[in-house]
């Protein structure tokens, strides 16, 4: 069994997936638009080009995403944060800085008392992230 996060990106799914592909070096392995749905689903004509479901895969992570339920606002981060762990100091700096572009840093990436480099942020798409890099 694997946990696969599912991101509701409220109308910005394609933009977010392309951004994450640059940050994490991954790719969109599945993408279904609302226009591909059977006629009986009653798709809003304004939503036809929006993403009903997508899967993103990189060497280090995998998640699913969509534009949500036709015109609804995405949840405001709720009680879920995505946590990334690495032992590569240059990689944690690169990913943190890339995710922070257009977002808001809640705790800058810095050395901690538990022997790690750690930081927290919310990216430009409203997804909360924690990055932890154990040193030594």
19-77: per-residue pLDDT in tens?
A: 999 999 999 999 999 888 777 677 778 888 999 999 999 998 999 999 986 555 656 65
Angle, helices 13-24/89-100, rounded to nearest 10 degrees: 160
**Mean pLDDT, rounded, of the chain:** 89
pTM: 0.83
Terminal-to-terminal C-alpha distance of the chain: 31
Region 76-87: mean pLDDT is 82
Q: What's the pLDDT score for residue 10? A: 85
Judge whether residue 87 has pLDDT over 90.
Answer: yes
Whole-angstrom Cα distance, residue 35 to residue 30? Answer: 15
Q: What's the pLDDT score for residue 106? A: 95
Lay out the sheet containing 51-57: strands in order across.
6-8, 62-66, 51-57, 27-33
Question: 129 with 100: CB under 8 angstroms?
Answer: no
CA distances from 76 to 7, 57, 72 (A): 11, 24, 12
Q: Tell me how crowded residue 40 is: count the other CB atoms within 10 A of its CB.
A: 6
Whole-angstrom Cα distance, residue 78 to residue 127? Answer: 10
**Residues facing residue 64 across a β-bridge:** 6, 55
Q: What's the pLDDT score for residue 72? A: 56
Domains and CATH numbers, the chain: 6-66 (3.30.720.100), 82-134 (3.10.180.10)
Question: 64 with 77: CB under 8 angstroms?
Answer: no
């Amino acid at each position: 069994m694997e946990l696969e996060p599912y991101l509701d990106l409220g109308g910005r799914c394609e933009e977010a997936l392309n951004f994450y592909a640059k940050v994490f070096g991954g790719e969109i392995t599945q993408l279904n638009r609302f226009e591909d749905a059977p006629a009986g689903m009653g798709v809003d004509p304004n939503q036809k080009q929006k993403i009903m479901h997508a899967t993103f895969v990189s060497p280090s992570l995998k998640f699913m995403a969509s534009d949500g339920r036709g015109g609804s606002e995405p949840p405001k981060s709720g009680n879920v944060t995505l946590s990334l762990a690495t032992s590569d100091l240059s990689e944690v700096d690169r990913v943190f800085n890339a995710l922070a572009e257009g977002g808001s840093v809640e705790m800058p990436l810095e050395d901690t008392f538990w022997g790690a480099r750690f930081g927290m942020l919310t990216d430009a798409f409203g997804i909360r992230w924690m990055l932890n890099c154990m040193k030594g």
